[in-house]
Amino acid sequence: MIFTQSLHNHTTFDDGKNTPAEMAAAAFDAGLAGLGLTAHSPMENEFWTVKPERMAEYRAELARLKIEYAGRLNVWCGLEYDLTSDRKWLDGFDYVIASVHALETTRGLWALDDNRERSRRMIVIAFEGDRDAAAEAYYAKVKEISAIPEADVVGHFDLITKFDEPEPLYDAASPRYRAAALDAMEALVQAGKIFEINTGAMSRGYRTSPYPAPPLLRALREMGGRVTITADAHSRENLAFAFDQAEAAARAAGFTELWEFDGVGFSPRAL
C-alpha cells in the first residue's frame, strides 16, 4: 500500500461508530500520514447526517485534534456534501467531497444506498421498470457536481450499483447507462473534479470491488481524469480497507498517479 491518507470517513457526529478522537488514534496506530473526516452535510429528518446545531462542535473537535496530533498525523476537517443539502454548509472545510445519495422523482424521494429492495422498488415504481432511465436520472444529478466550485472530489461515482452483486439491478453495459455515466464524467473532469476509488461498500460486505466499476475507471483514465483512494469508513477498523485492491484497480485502468491532499489542495503522487 503506497497511499497513506484516508480522506473520506464518518464518525459519531453523523452515521459512524467511532468518535473523531477514536478515528485519529486508530489512524495514527495504523501508520497513516493523513486522516480526513467528512461528516454528512445536514439534511432535515435524515438521522445519518450531522445535526445543524452540532456543526460548530464538529469543527471545534477537529481543530482540537489537529493540534493534538500536530507533527504526527495530519488531521483534516472535511465534509461529504449531499446535493440535496443547503449550499450554506459548503463553506469553511479543508476540502469537500460531493455525493448524490438520493433521487427526487415525481414519485417520491428515493434513497439510493439503503438496501437492495428499496433500490429495486425505485426502478419499478419511480421509473416504471426502466433501469436505464433511473441511471440517466442519477448521473444527471451527479453531473450537477461540476457546477459546485467548493466540491473537490466526486463521491462514489456509480453508487447506484451498490446492490448489483451478485445479481445486477442495473445494466452497466447498456448504451444508455454508459452514455449517461460518461456524459457526467466528462463534465466533472472538465470542471477539474477528482474521483474517488472508494472501498466503502467492500468493507460493509456489499461489493467485492471498489467504486467505480473497471470500465468507468478506464474511461476516466482515457479522459485524463484524476483519482484518489478513499475508504468511506464508518468505523475505525476500516480506515484503509482494501487500499491495496484500490491501488491495483487504479493501475489496471492505466493510472500512474494518485492525488493526495496537501493541506491546501490536491497534488499527485506516483503510483
**Residue 232 is a binding residue for Zn ion (CB under 5 A):** yes
Show the site string, 235-254: x = touches Zn ion by CB under 5 A, - = not: --------------------
Where does this chain touch Zn ion (CB under 5 A) — which range of 14-22, 26-34, 79-87, 205-213? 79-87
What residues have CB less than 8 Å from 80, skipping those under 6 apart?
Answer: 8, 10, 38, 39, 40, 41, 96, 97, 98, 99, 155
**Residues written for the chain:** 271
Where does this chain touch Zn ion (CB under 5 A) — which range of 12-20, 45-53, 98-106, 143-151? 98-106
Rounded CA-CA distance 249/5 in Å is 17
Name the minimum Å distance from CB 71 to Zn ion. Answer: 28
| For Zn ion, the closer CB: 5 or 99 | 99
Residues 129-168 that bind Zn ion (CB under 5 A): 155
Widest distance between CA atoms in the chain: 55
| For Zn ion, the closer CB: 9 or 132 | 9
C-alpha cell at 246: 484500490
What's the gap between Cα 220 and its chain centre? 16
Name the minimum Å distance from CB 164 to Zn ion. Answer: 17
Say what the alpha-carbon torsion angle 198, 203, 204, 207 is, to the nearest 10 degrees: 60
Question: Within 10 Å of residue 8's Cβ, how many Cβ atoms?
Answer: 26
Name the minimum Å distance from CB 38 to Zn ion. Answer: 6
**Residue 82 is a binding residue for Zn ion (CB under 5 A):** no
Show the site string, 48-77: x = touches Zn ion by CB under 5 A, - = not: ------------------------------
- 3-state secondary structure at position 36: strand
* Residue numbers at the binding site for Zn ion (CB under 5 A): 80, 99, 155, 232
